[in-house]
Structure 1
Amino acid sequence: MRASDRAYAALRQDIVEWRLPPGTVLGEVEQSARLGISRTPLREALSRLTADGLAAPHSGRGVVVTGISLDTVAELFELRQALECKSAALAAVRGQAAVFEELQSRFRSAGSLISTSDRQNRGGYYELVAELDAAIDTAAANSYLTQALGNVRLHLARVRRLAKDNPARLLETAGEHATIAAAVATGDPDLASASVSVHLHKSLEHLRSARITTPEIRTIP
């Protein structure tokens, strides 16, 4: 793997996991030393992060990790609504029912993955959500739609960190994802789209009830 690819992957993961929170300045000198690479591949990595929307130019010192606000979350969900509802509708028409029936069953018993004391298990729950996303992408069989959803999900992974430690909401989402899988399995595109729409509405309302703030700009040494 090229140095720029390694740097991009490491920085992207740090941003998504909030180890580099919004407002963090990614200075070239500091980040080159931290990642053990020269400034040329680092600049390429920072350019890719900027293209992803995870970073933005900062006056004279590299880039800064972009902020998250209720306005940006609402805009993200507007796009997510259009893309995910369409993807689920296509999956209902083109997918194999058995795949989604099995996923429905796993979501129905996902409570064991959501505990108040074991965050690693919660990671297992998010892996299950990713499996459903991948199954819908595969069934929808639209490469342009999948590509667009990939960028949306990148930002969603960061937003989820604002609420992922709420077990009650995670239990609700398990039921909602089970409903989505069941709807796709029926082969009814309208039902599949509607089930996704309900889930997204509830998720956005939950995020709106959380306090979303962007920290002051700061530099990570």
Structure 2
Amino acid sequence: MAKTPVRRQKREVVLVDAEAADFLPAETRLRAPARKPPARPSRKDVLPDVAEDASLTDRAYRILEELIATLQLPPGAVLSELALSERLKIGRTPIREALQRLARDGLVVVLPRRGVLVSEINLRTQLRLLELRRVIEKLMAGLAAERATAEEREAFADIASSMRQAAEVEDDLAFMRLDRRFNLLMAQASRNEFAVRSMGLMNALSRRFWYQHYREVADLPLAARLHAEVAEAVARRDPRQAEEAAIRLVDYIEDFARKTLDA
């Protein structure tokens, strides 16, 4: 089947107000089953956890990373430091530093005299990324199961439960935020800064790829279960089970990526 090329035209991005930046267009959200509608989220639930951020740069990064990962800032979009600063109510220096971090993560490309563009989504890149991710996911899961504190194990158990609930009501955005929490907690609990740096370059790209294609080929309940199994094995302090669950998760992610060819 011929693949539809991504349009590359330059376009100025119109951001929503910062306090509404996390809401997705209605047509991009999955509809919850009528028999079990999700409870109306509180303001605390629908906004990024910016209170946890250590600086304005962290806050800018968190918001922009989510906007890119959820395609509200689509591939090929031209980003303006000034426009982003005005819309997010954050100074240009933190915005510039956040964009530099996003460039290191592969989410934006800085082009001399052309500005900053949101990077394109590429299947070949995703498959190469998964070759490395398979090794690092297994390593970090095993290390986290060995090294996680009691508080971290409790947090893993909570994430696992919440992921299953998000899948049950088909809340895709809640699942993505839980996935980000899962990745950050795994990085913290593994206590290996070199693995963390490598994984940090892959997480956002992987989430964005998933978000672009999940409506066509993803199985949200299965994805949630596989994530939950990793988290639960870590919570039980079972390194072998955590490693095996991590491999099953990456197997699913690779299968998902290859199915996008036929989507």
For normalisation by structure 1, the TM-score amounts to 0.70
Q: 2:142 aligns with which of 89, 98, 109?
A: 89
**Counterpart-to-counterpart distance in 2, 1:134 and 1:48:** 16
Equivalent pairs, count = 209
Contact 2:108 2:118 in 1 (8 A): yes
Cα displacement (A) at 1:39: 6.7
Q: In the alignment, what sits opposite 2:70?
A: 17
Q: 1:60 to 1:210 in 2, by over 3 A?
A: same
Which has the bigger relative contact order, CA under 8 A and spacing at least 6?
1
Q: In the alignment, what sits opposite 1:194?
A: 244
Contact 1:25 1:58 in 2 (8 A): no
Contact 2:127 2:257 in 1 (8 A): no
Superposed, which structure 2 residues align to 1:1-221 within 5 Å? 8-27=61-80, 43-58=96-111, 60-95=113-148, 100=153, 103=156, 107=160, 110-114=163-167, 121-165=171-215, 169-185=219-235, 187-211=237-261
Contact 2:107 2:118 in 1 (8 A): yes
Q: Where in structure 2 are there 5+ consecutive unaligned residues?
A: 1-54
Residue range with higher mean Cα deviation, 182-191 or 51-60: 182-191
Q: 1:212 to 1:9 in 2, by over 3 A?
A: farther
Q: Where in structure 1 are there 5+ consecutive unaligned residues?
A: 214-221
Cα displacement (A) at 1:93: 2.4
**Counterpart-to-counterpart distance in 2, 1:83 and 1:201:** 13
Cα displacement (A) at 1:204: 1.5
Contact 1:96 1:185 in 2 (8 A): no
RMSD: 3.9
Can you list the C-alpha shifts for 1:92-115, whole angstroms capped at 9, x where unaligned? Answer: 223368965885587468554225
**Counterpart-to-counterpart distance in 2, 1:10 and 1:185:** 29
**Counterpart-to-counterpart distance in 2, 1:128 and 1:92:** 19
**Counterpart-to-counterpart distance in 2, 1:93 and 1:148:** 20
**Counterpart-to-counterpart distance in 2, 1:67 and 1:194:** 32
**Counterpart-to-counterpart distance in 2, 1:41 and 1:103:** 31
Q: 1:212 to 1:39 in 2, by over 3 A?
A: farther
Q: 1:31 to 1:81 in 2, by over 3 A?
A: same
**Partner amino acid for 2:119?**
T
Which has the larger helix fraction?
A: 1
**Counterpart-to-counterpart distance in 1, 2:80 and 2:148:** 46
Q: 1:129 to 1:23 in 2, by over 3 A?
A: closer
